[in-house]
Amino acid sequence: MEKILDKFLRYVSFDTASDPMSQTQPSTAKQFALLELLLAELKKMGIADAHLDEYGYVMASIPSNTSADIPAVGFIAHVDTSPDAPGNDINPQIFPDYDGNPILLNKEKDLYLDPAEFPELLLYKGQTIITTDGTTLLGADDKAGVAAIMWAAQYLMEHPQVKHGPIKIAFTPDEEIGRGVAKFDVEKFGAKYAYTIDGGQIGEMEYENFNAAAANIHIQGRNIHPGYAKDKMINALIIGTELNNMLPVEEKPEFTAGYEGFYHITSFRGTVEEAQINYIIRDHDPDKFEQKKDLIREVVAFVNKKYGAKCVTMELKDQYYNMRKQIEPHMHIVDKAVRAIKAEGITPIVHPIRGGTDGAQLSYRGLPCPNIFAGGHNFHGKMEYLPLESMEKAARVVLGIIAQYTV
């Protein structure tokens, strides 16, 4: 058996950042390099039923090796990394037997991963911590999940004495930009139930997530020489700032937790002549989600009434919905995951995802799909880190879930 660490380090060496501005599927061609490698590795394991389609989906099947009537169970992870931070030339650093002190990420930048700022680090004293070098993200989101599934698949292929039902595996592109399963063929995948291995801290088990929308706002101003601008200039940057300040201050990500939703401004760029603002809107409660969308519509309408009907245009689109409604009729899949986590000596942390996964959309398309931890922390940035032992446990939990279906 290849060590899971070696798999992970190989996978993060690929630049797989997705691109929200792209209209292709997948959004970046470079994701295919890792997908092709995964396909080759699956086939090398002896998994004959494995393929990669034109849309960037790797799907594979491990046949049942028992006569028992067991439903097909799937495991899914995404290969893309967030475009919010550089994903190329990743140089992981490995710190065995972590002693609880700040970890130096980058001497030149005087950059440390400090438990005073990230107290969760202290949960992993004595363990092996994998970090970035302070210039890129790490890619544990979700290459730790990819590595966990690949290790579990290899284990099953090398240990045929382990009885199991039909196992389905999928690796997807573009999850980070909300398009991970846009062209995913649920029927072809063939699983009755599935799990994304895309969570964070060890023990996490999630079956509810945000309802999500994206608002793309364009502001058309009017640039006039500032010396002669009185009663003529319409400054798009000023209007954008005014619009943003009309949204509730307390409903920003940095002021919310648990079930609280938010408006998150993800980009603001432009000139006096025109500007573009992008938001994501999130809430677990469907009624509050609709209220948030109504408020941003009212803000846009107010600004247009003040500055002119053609000043601001907005494209507001739903992205995904809370999967809890789709999971609750099948709570046995959650119970099986919780038992598998406990069997590894881990305390389950069952809480709502303050985000979304491919599983949210798949659950609404007839494939109930809760989310399991992969082990990483501080996703999407240079402070990302992964305790090796957490990723190892994620792989064991995959095997444990499979075992639960054979009971």
Residues annotated as catalytic (active site), given as ranges: 80, 175
Alpha-carbon distance 373 to 344, whole Å?
13
Alpha-carbon distance 226 to 232, whole Å?
10
Using CA atoms, how far residue 52 sits from 42, 57, 156, 301, in Å, is 11, 6, 21, 46
CB 88 within 8 A of CB 133: no
E strands, 47-131, where?
49-52, 58-62, 73-78, 93-95, 103-106, 111-113, 129-131
Q: What is the 3-state secondary structure (H, E, C) of 100-114?
A: CCCEEEECCCCEEEC
Q: Degrees (nearest 5) of the Cα angle 123, 116, 389?
A: 25
Q: How far is C-alpha 331 from the geometric centre of its chain's CA atoms? A: 23
Closest CA to 387 of 76, 95, 143: 95
CB 355 within 8 A of CB 196: no
Q: Degrees (nearest 5) of the Cα angle 78, 79, 81?
A: 100
**Alpha helices for 258-285 (secondary structure H):** none
Structure-block tokens of residue 153 = 């698949």
